[in-house]
Every structure is written in structure tokens, then in C-alpha cells.
Amino acid sequence: MSARRPESGLSGIAQRAIPSDFNSVFNQLLELTAQRTSLKILFEDLSGITLDHPDLRLEPRFRVHDCAFCILAQSTPVGHAACIRNKLAVNHRVRRQGEGLGGQCRLGLTDLVEPLALHGLLLGVFYFGSVVVCGTEVVAKANIYRQCRRLRQNPEPYLRTLDTVPRVTAEELAHHQRTLILVRKLTLRLIEFCGLNVRTYASVSGSQAMGMQRKLAPLVRAGIELIQHRYAEALTLAEAADALSCHPDYLGRLFKAQTGLGFHQYLLRVRIACARRLLQSGRFNISQVCYQVGFQDQSHFGRVFRRLSGCTPSQYLHQRREAGAGASPSAAWRITRDANRYVSGSGPLELLKKRPSPDL
């Protein structure tokens, strides 16, 4: 028997493995943010989290700097390598500091940078900007001359393109920083709503993350999407293979090779992640959650939950209640602290005034 049926038999879900129109909630959030401002926004996925749920998918334009100036800067191999080194250095700095910052890139464009972190893990980095702050044009041009001299490039094309880059005032940039912080907070809420267990992820460099995005075959992506949509059903490998128009053995081998988990193990992890989210909501008891995420036996649910979470569902509920009771003052303090910093002008944005560095 052949390993795979003809492509003409692929189901709609398989064809959506690489969506032609990215209609995810995350993509719409960045789209709306981009439409309301002249700034460019992108998210550099350092963990692969945007690959594991339909509501987190992103268009390529929200993954790279794609303004005319950045395209020019990366048009040569040496320029592209320099931009990559600059971004890796910024990612490292954000990871080390654990908070956002703002500054100029090696060629003088200003970006706001905000880390997306949950439970101590850096999932990715937001970049918001690709603009020139009014009053920093001289510094931007000096950066261009210095970089072009070092790389033996003609500065004139960069200077001409710099004139077309949007300008913002320092006050407007402070407003945009608050917008980016809100986008980060909404993204964290979205990740929690999707039920993904971020403790199973690992933060990698930007170049490794790009390779990770190319690693999954379309059939495996289709299988992951199928699980996300039908995890509450009594879904089997054979039923998934039938829906994806392929042989079960082939799908099982490919899934195991590319995700490191068998199809059923991956399904169980998705179910338990969703169970944790439902238990956190406080609206359902353990028995209700058990059946809502696709388990037919509460004892089996308890065993799987304990194996994957390190505690029983009742223990998990107890821990969440204790954490919730003690977390409010801390969370309120952080919100008040951040608000005071931005109002007083002592936040990360001050890096623009204190150190207009070519390396952010």
C-alpha cells in the first residue's frame, strides 16, 4: 500500500496547514496595531509557539523588518549579516534585562523592543518602530556614514531612503510604547487562552527559530491543527490520517520524527493543557473538565494529568487558588510601578535620550 494518497484527496484542514489568508487572532491584533500607526510591528518567535495553535499563526510580514529602508540595508550579504548580528545582540540584551527598551539600530532607525515572557521563559520579542525620532536625524546620518565606511558601501542610497522614513516625536513614541506593552499583555492572555503549556518550550536564537519554522512538514502542521480543533473528540490516529488523506503509519512516523512525540501523546498534551486552562477559570469542576477535553474516564484523566503536570487535578486547583490569593498585590504593584515609570519618564524609553547607541 502506498504511503500517501493522491494530493487531490487532501481535506480542507490539510490545505489550511499553510494558510493563504492568515486570520488568526494574533495576526489580526498585529494587523490592527499596524493600521493605527505609521510604525512597523513584528514578532520574532524564539520558541516556535506561533506554530502550535491556529490562533497564533503569523504572516511573514509580521516576522521580519520589511520597510524600504530595512530591505535596502539587507540587500547585500554583508548588510544582511550585520542586521542579523544587531538583532541577535538586541535579543540577548532583552533576555538579560528582562524588560523592554528603545533605541537606534546600526543605521539610525528607532525601534521599541518588548520581550514576550511567561513563567520565566522568553517566548519571543516584539519590535515596534522602523521610524526616525524627530531631533535624532543627525545621529542617524552619522550612524549611516560610520557603518557604510566600515562595510565599504555607498551611503547615498541610505541617506535618500532615510528621508522617506516616517518621523515621530518623543511624546508620540512614548504613546507607542504603551501600545506595545498592551499588545504584549493581550498576547500573553491569548497564549493562556489557547491552553499551551509554555513550560514545554525552549527559547532559542532568532536564526534557530527560523529554521524551526521551516522544519515541520505541511502534513504535520495539518495534524497539529486537526488536534487543536478536535481534541475534545475521541480522535484516533486512523481517523486523523483519514481526514488528512494519508496512511496512518506514515502520519505516525512523520509526527514522531518531527515533533518528538507520537500522535496520541501529542493529543494528550493538548488535552491536559486545555484542562489546566478550564480549571484555572474556576467555572467547572474536575469531572466537567474531564469530559470537556475528550477523556471518557475520570481515573484515566487523573493519571494522565498527574503524569504531565506533576500533580493531581485537585492539587492543581488548590495550588492555583493559593497563587491567586497571593498574586494580586504583586501584580497590582507591578502595574503601578510601570505606570509611574512611564509617567515620570524613567522607563526604558529614556535610553533614547541617554544613550543613542547604534546597537539599541
pLDDT digits (tens, 9 = 90+) for 205-229: 554 454 444 467 788 888 888 888 8
Is 253 or 327 the better-scoring residue by pLDDT?
253
Q: How confident is the model at residue 26 (pLDDT cuts 50, 70, 90)?
A: very high
Cα angle value 177/182/186 (rounded, 5°): 150
pLDDT digits (tens, 9 = 90+) for 5-20: 333 333 343 444 334 4
The pLDDT assigned to 347 comes to 38
Please report, for the chain, how many H helices and E strands are present, in that order.
16, 5
The pLDDT assigned to 14 comes to 40
Q: Cα–Cα distance between 101 and 65 in angstroms, integer?
A: 17
- pTM above 0.75? no
> Considering the chain, what is the average pLDDT of its residues?
78
Residue 327 confidence (pLDDT) above 90: no
**Domain map (residue ranges) of the chain:** 21-209+342-354, 216-310
pLDDT digits (tens, 9 = 90+) for 169-199: 989 999 999 999 999 999 999 988 887 777 7
The pLDDT assigned to 207 comes to 47
Average of per-residue pLDDT across 274-291 = 86
Which of the listed CATH numbers 1.10.10.60, 3.10.400.10, 1.10.760.10, 2.40.160.40 matches domain 216-310?
1.10.10.60
pLDDT digits (tens, 9 = 90+) for 66-100: 888 888 888 887 887 788 888 888 888 888 888 88
Q: Would you say 145 and 131 are in contact if contact means Cβ atoms under 8 Å apart?
A: no
Q: Would you say 177 and 347 are in contact if contact means Cβ atoms under 8 Å apart?
A: yes
Binning the chain into helix, strand and coil, the percentages to the nearest 5 are 60, 10, 30
Q: Which residues contact 158 (CB under 8 A, 6 or more apart)?
A: 69, 72, 73, 107, 144, 148
pLDDT digits (tens, 9 = 90+) for 222-248: 888 888 888 888 899 999 999 888 899
Q: State the alpha helices, DSSP H only, in 231-283.
A: 237-243, 248-259, 263-281
Q: How confident is the model at residue 22 (pLDDT cuts 50, 70, 90)?
A: low
Q: Cα–Cα distance between 197 and 213 in angstroms, integer?
A: 19
